[in-house]
Amino acid sequence: METKERIADLGEIVDPSDIYVTSLDIGTTKIAAIVGRRNENNKVEILGYGRSDSLGVRRGVVTNIENTVQSIQNAVRQAEERSGKKIKYVHVGIAGHHIKSMQHRGTLIRKNGEDEITQEDIENLINNMYSLNMNPGEEIIDVIPQEFTVDGESGIKNPVGVLGTSLEANFHIITGQTAAAKNIYKCVKKAGLEIVDLIIEPFASSEAVLSPEEKEAGVVLVDVGGGTTDLAIFQDDIIRHTAVIPFGGEIVTEDVKEGCSIIRKHAEELKIKFGSSLASENRDEDVVSIPGLRGRPPKEITLKNLASIIQARMEEIMEYVYREIVNSGLERKLIAGIVLTGGGSQLRHLKQLTEFISGMDTRIGYPNEHLSPRCPSELASPMYATGIGLLLMALERTERDLKKRAVLSQTSTKIQEQPVDVPIFEEKQSEKFVDKEPKKSKRESFLERITKWFEDDGL
- CATH classification at residue 266: 3.30.420.40
pLDDT recorded at residue 398: 86
Whole-model pTM over 0.75:
yes
Q: How far separated are the first and last CA of the chain, in Å rounded?
A: 28
Domain of residue 281: give its range. Answer: 249-313
291 in a domain, yes or no?
A: yes
Contacts of 252 (CB under 8 A, 6+ apart): 271, 275, 310, 313, 314, 344, 347
Q: How many domains does the chain have?
A: 1
CA-CA distance, 86 to 206, in Å (whole number)?
28
298 in a domain, yes or no?
A: yes
DSSP 279: G
pLDDT recorded at residue 455: 67
CA-CA distance, 382 to 225, in Å (whole number)?
10
CA-CA distance, 56 to 65, in Å (whole number)?
7
DSSP 237: T
Per-residue pLDDT of the chain (459 residues; tens, 9 = 90+): 455 444 443 334 455 556 889 999 999 899 999 999 988 888 899 999 999 999 899 888 899 999 999 999 999 999 999 999 999 999 999 888 888 888 999 999 998 888 899 999 999 999 999 888 888 888 888 899 989 999 999 989 899 999 999 999 999 999 988 898 899 999 999 999 999 988 999 999 999 999 999 999 999 999 999 999 999 999 999 999 999 999 999 999 999 999 999 999 999 999 999 999 999 999 888 999 888 777 788 889 999 999 999 999 999 999 999 999 999 999 999 999 999 999 999 999 999 999 999 999 999 999 988 898 888 888 999 999 999 999 999 998 888 888 777 776 666 655 555 444 333 333 333 333 333 333 444 567 777 777 776 666 655
182 in a domain, yes or no?
A: no
281 in a domain, yes or no?
A: yes
Torsion, Cα 342 101 323 320, to 10 degrees, reads 40
CA-CA distance, 107 to 105, in Å (whole number)?
7
260 in a domain, yes or no?
A: yes
409 in a domain, yes or no?
A: no
pLDDT recorded at residue 297: 85
DSSP 151: T
Alpha carbon distances (Å) from 385 to 118, 343, 391, 418, 434: 36, 9, 10, 50, 41
321 in a domain, yes or no?
A: no
290 in a domain, yes or no?
A: yes
CA-CA distance, 16 to 169, in Å (whole number)?
36
